[in-house]
Amino acid sequence: MRGSGNMTMISVKGVHRVRRKLADGTIRVYHYASRGRGAVPFWNSAMAFDEGSPEYLAALSASRPVAEQARGLFREIIIEFTRSQDFARLAQRTQSDMKTSFYHPKTGIDAKFGGGPRAVFDDPRIRGIALKWRDGIGGKVGDDRIRHLQRLVGWAVDRTMLRHNHLQKIRSLYSSNRADMFWTDDDIAAFEKGAPAHVSRILIAATETGLRPGDLAGLCRAHIHPTPKGQRIVIWTAKRKRLASIPVTPRMARLIAETPPGQTHFIVNKGGEPYQHENYLGDAVSQWRDKLKIRAGLRLYDARGTAATRLLMADASLKEIATAMGWSIKHASEVIERYTALSPEMSDGLAEKLTRAGKQT
C-alpha cells in the first residue's frame, strides 16, 4: 500500500501496466484489466484520482468481466448492483457515498466481504460477523457501511442471487441530535452583513426555501412558476424524489429579482458560474461562519429545519409543510418536533398566547 494525503491506497495485483512516451515527451502510465488485442485502459496517470483509490477500484471492477474475477463471490453482487438500473436511478451523491462504502481500501464492503463466497450471506451467522465489522468501524461511518451492505443483500435476495436476508432490522449506533442547531434571525443577519454576496445568497435561499444544497445548486428560473397571488418554486427534490411546491417569500422574491437577467442559476460562485458540486455550498457557508465567528457547529443543512419552523410559526399545517419541503407527513412531523422544541421564537409565541388567555379569564 501507499499513501496519498490522508487516504490509504491499496495495491492491486493482476493489473497490466504500460508506460508510454507521448509526443511532447511526457511519460504516461496506463492500466489495463486484461492483456490482448482490443483491451482498453481503465486508468491512466493523468486522471484526477490516484492508483489504488476507491474511484480506481470502482473503475477496475467495472472494466473486468464478472466471469473473470468475481463469479460466485460476494464481489459479483457489488459489481452487478453498481451496473443495475436500481443504482443508476439513485442521486449522484448517493451513488458516490455508496461507492465509498463499497470500495474504501480499509473499511470497504469489498475489502471485507468481496473475496468471500456469496453463499456465506445465506448463513445466519453472517449477521454477527457483519455487526462486529460495523462496530469495529464505529460512528456514523460504521452505520453507513452496514446500511449500504443491507441494501446490497436486499437487492441480491430480490434477484435470487441470495436466498436469505439476515441483515434486516439493524439499529444504528450513531445518533445525531441537532435540535438546538438552527439559524436564528440574528445569525442570518450577521452572516448576510459579513459574507460576500454570492455566499450570503446561499444561506438566504436555504432558509427561505428549505432546499438541500444539491437542489439549491441546480435551482434556476425554470423552477419559478406564477400563482394567483405571487410565485412558487416547483422542483423534484434529488434525495427523496418528491415534488416540492415552495412559496416564494418576499425575501426570496428579492433574491430572484436581484439575479442578473442573463444568469439562469440563482446560486453561483465568485466567478458567476454554477457550483459543480453541492458540497461547495456547505463549505462556503461554513468557511464564512467561522470567519464571522457565528455560532460554531451551524451548518447549511440546519437551514432546512429553520425554514420548516418558520412555516409552522406562520400557522402552516403539517400537510402544507410536508408539501413545501418535499417531505412525507411522518418525516415532517419528526423534523418539526425536533426543531420547535428549543426554538426561542416558539417559546415566546406560546408565552404571548398564555398571556392573552390569562387576560380573557
Domain boundaries, the chain: 65-176, 187-356
- pLDDT tens, the chain, 361 aa long: 344 444 445 556 678 889 998 888 889 999 887 776 667 788 999 998 888 888 888 888 777 664 466 778 999 899 889 989 999 888 777 888 899 999 998 899 999 999 899 999 999 999 999 999 999 998 888 999 999 999 999 999 999 999 999 999 998 886 655 555 778 889 999 999 999 999 999 999 999 988 888 899 999 999 999 999 899 999 988 766 778 888 898 899 999 999 999 899 999 999 999 988 888 898 899 999 999 999 887 889 888 877 877 777 777 788 888 777 777 788 777 766 766 554 555 545 545 554 665 555 4
pLDDT, residue 67, reads 45
Q: How far apart are CA 119 and CA 90, in angstroms?
A: 27
Write the DSSP string, 322-360.
HHHHT--HHHHHHHHHHHHHT-HHHHHHHHHHHHHHHHH
pLDDT, residue 58, reads 81
Q: How far apart are CA 326 and CA 244, in angstroms?
A: 4
pLDDT, residue 355, reads 60
The backbone region for 72, taken as left when phi is positive above 0, alpha when psi lies in -120 to 50, beta otherwise, is: left
The dotted CATH code for 187-356 is 1.10.443.10
Q: What is the pTM of this model?
A: 0.53
Q: How far apart are CA 225 and CA 234, in angstroms?
A: 7
The backbone region for 249, taken as left when phi is positive above 0, alpha when psi lies in -120 to 50, beta otherwise, is: beta
pLDDT, residue 352, reads 59
